[in-house]
Copies of this chain bind each other. A is one copy, B any other.
């Protein structure tokens, strides 16, 4: 039986194995992913992001417990793109593992490397797909920070929660332009701390000042104390409200289409490059170009045009 067939029958070890293959860039993963693809598209994808130390892991843990209480199977992808080189560890992992270790309805996977197949967002997407095909009802993507990588990642989510903590004034300033656009829900966690009301007020003001069009979703600011479970029920209700909004307003359809387009484009870009790059690497052309750039006798703009002319079918018709 192929890995994919085992996964479709709920084999967790087969799923873990395929995720590793994807991460390692094994070409053997490709037919498996093709087999799984028709079985994807059913999971509700929830993104959780925010600065380090905001309590995202604890919050994810509580949210998972709540989904489990209502009988949903939960996949968790914990992504840490801040450590692209050495593949740093996700600290909260062990803690979470302990709590849900014996629960077959929870599947956790950490991603710290960028993934050989092309970027961490690509790897994350494949892992989400595998969990989706496994029959997970909910897939939670938890990621640190709000750089471009993280934004690409949480864009896969149907609903994205941005978690903040009181007293990170400067950080809010620095990242607000980015988070305003991706947050469907703001969570002020550690709400027992000094300044929680102030942070919540600042966020609310930011939302009000934002340029929302009519009919658009207006993010709410929720307060939680994840370590005590305070505010989780209200947060879950807000997730449900957003999900309902997406379906009712027809946004879900558009969202899926945009996501599919982005997935395809990213793969096309990667494969085109790998194919052409492999050939100019093999025939020595790349070496000549790079050497020429070193002496400034070759400029990269012209070199790229020549390579396109040589390897792209009918590239000439472009300029015609």
Measuring CB to CB, which residues of chain A are less than 8 angstroms from any residue of chain B?
A: 30, 33-34, 37-41, 52-53, 81-88, 91, 114, 120, 144-151, 170-171, 173-178, 180-181, 256-257, 260-261, 263-265, 267-269, 271-273, 275-278, 286, 289-290, 293-294, 296-297, 299-305, 307-308, 310-315, 318
Residues A52 and B268 in contact in the complex (CB < 8 Å), given A41-B296, A290-B257: no
Residues A30 and B308 in contact in the complex (CB < 8 Å), given A147-B81, A171-B52, A296-B40: no
A312 contacts B276, C-beta separation under 8 Å? yes
Residues in chain B near residue A150, CB distance under 8 A: 147
A301 contacts B268, C-beta separation under 8 Å? no
Residues A275 and B37 in contact in the complex (CB < 8 Å), given A82-B146, A178-B85, A267-B301: no
Give the contacting residue for A294; candidates B151, B173, B257; CB below 8 A: B257
Residue of B nearest to A119 (CB): B148
Closest 7 CB pairs of A and B: A147-B147, A88-B177, A83-B177, A52-B174, A37-B299, A260-B293, A269-B273
A231 CB, min distance to chain B CBs, angstroms: 23
A268 contacts B275, C-beta separation under 8 Å? no
A5 CB, min distance to chain B CBs, angstroms: 16
Residues in chain B near residue A313, CB distance under 8 A: 310-313
Residue of B nearest to A31 (CB): B301
Task: Report the separation of the CA atoms of residues A301 and B268 in the bound assembly, to the nearest whole angstrom.
Answer: 9
Given contacts A82-B147, A267-B300, list 11 more A-B pairs with CB under 8 A. A37-B296, A37-B300, A52-B173, A52-B175, A53-B170, A83-B175, A145-B145, A264-B304, A268-B304, A311-B313, A311-B314
